[in-house]
Amino acid sequence: MLRFLTAGESHGPALTAIIEGFPAGVEVPTEKINAQLERRQSTYGRGGRMKIEKDKVKILSGVRGGLTLGSPIALQIMNLDWKNWREVMSGDANEYVPEKAAYRALTRPRPGHADLAGGLKYGHHKDLRNVLERASARETAVRVAVGTVGRILIESLGCNILSHVVQIGRVEAPEYSASHMELAEKASASSVGCADPEAASAMIEEIDRAAKSRDTLGGVIEVICTGLPPGLGSYVHWDRRLDSRLAAAVLGIPSVKGVDFGLGFRGAGVFGSDYHDEIRCNQQGKIYRSTNRAGGLEGGVSNGEPLVLRAVVKPVPTLGSPLASVDLKSKEESLAAIERSDTCIVPAAAVIAEAVVAWEIAAAVLDKFGGDTLAEIQEHFQQYLAYIRQF
């Protein structure tokens, strides 16, 4: 079973992940991981923290000479801002300075964050920073690193993954008509991850307006994965459905509030005859579909069409002009605390979503094809492709 765990606080010394169950013989260049980390950091609308951090991955175990060993893989990303927080966040009592930690204490929970609910759950109501530090989206940096390892595996089987931004604030991009390759190229060339130049320009203006008014923006992203064979996932149990696993992974990204596949929510008002994809057969006996409103999934199983997933990203809940809150220390109404934050994380969320989707697909691939080495998996994969070509 392929799985991972992450550890680390936003202003702690580092973010760490341990990957278990990854096969041997996969080439994992650090520059591929670092390229995805750079994409996550460099999108338009990010805040001051991204000017401090220069995320680079360090592989601590499970890889030798660039090739995976089949043993647990440990990844680490250092937090460069740690030097400014050592006395406040250190786990070492000899370095920790209570007076400075008290000065940084957070007692005014921010609406939309885990501050209040998490503080009540874990008894951190005297200092909600104990919640903030782990609940922070900073953790997604190491999740991008983990997802890129999964991405490398599925790309070795001919699968490709891309994302683009569909909407930021009130600005919506038109439906794309380009090939997936062209869509990926245009989206990656945009600082907001939008393939349509006019819409991208309007999105940048929308972000600038929000920043000027000390507000934030959300939007919609789309992730597409091509080259998937039919048969990944399963309909036999709810937790083995590929759509369930993908939705859970994407909803695990901070600020994501909804996920759909294919036509999804947009098809709520149409008849079934206009929602489902008819199955056809050409003169050569090849079964195909002329539409992909299901987004590549039926009954929790991939059907051979491109996987198409959309996610709704809420506006960042840390506002420059804070909303009403209550000071848990005095029990008096107050304004919410202000922490360094972003104006819009929608383009960054698209990069993160690519990573978590790639990871879940890699897990589904290993469930389906098994094998302790890349060579075994590739052999099983090709045998399966030969089998399904009969139909």
**pLDDT greater than 90 at residue 215:** yes
Residue 51 confidence (pLDDT) above 80: no
∠ Cα 378 21 255 (to 5°): 105
From the number of C-beta atoms within 10 Å of its C-beta (0-12, 13-18, 19+), residue 14 rates as middle
Show the domains of the chain with their CATH numbers: 3-388 (3.60.150.10)
The whole-number pLDDT of residue 294 equals: 97
User: Are residues 320 and 212 in contact, defined by beta-carbon separation less than 8 angstroms?
Assistant: no
Contact present, 141 and 77 (Cβ < 8 Å): yes
Residue 341 has pLDDT above 90, yes or no: no
- Tens digits of per-residue pLDDT, 308-340? 999 999 999 989 999 999 999 999 999 999 887
Residue 190 pLDDT more than 90? Answer: yes
Asked whether residue 49 carries a pLDDT value surpassing 70, the answer given is no
Structure tokens belonging to residue 370: 């098994």
Q: What percent of the chain has pLDDT over 70?
A: 99
How far apart are the C-alpha atoms of 13 and 16, rounded to whole Å?
10
* Structure tokens belonging to residue 272: 């079934």
The stretch 22-37 carries a mean pLDDT of 97
Residue reference for tokens 């050569």: 284
Q: Would you say residue 52 has pLDDT above 80?
A: no
How far is 298 from 277, CA to CA, in rounded Å? 10
* 163, pLDDT greater than 70: yes
Inform me whether the pLDDT recorded for 344 exceeds 90.
Answer: yes
Cα 261 to Cα 273: distance, rounded to the nearest angstrom: 18
Mean pLDDT of the 23-49 span: 91
Cα–Cα distance for residue pair 283/61, rounded to 1 Å: 53
pLDDT of residue 283: 87
Question: Where would I find the beta strands (DSSP E) of the chain?
Answer: 3-7, 14-20, 57-61, 63-64, 67-68, 73-78, 160-168, 171-172, 219-226, 256-261, 280-281, 287-288, 297-298, 301-302, 307-313, 324-327, 332-335
Question: pLDDT for 68-101, tens place per residue?
Answer: 999 999 999 999 999 999 999 999 999 999 999 9
C-alpha to C-alpha distance for 308 and 224, rounded to whole angstroms: 5
Tell me how far the alpha carbon of residue 29 is from its chain's centroid: 20
Task: Convert the pLDDT of each residue in 361-384 to its tens digit.
Answer: 999 999 999 999 999 999 999 999
Average pLDDT, rounded, for the chain: 95
Side by side, the strands of the sheet bearing 171-172 are 171-172, 160-168, 219-226, 307-313, 256-261
Q: Does 229 score more than 70 pLDDT?
A: yes
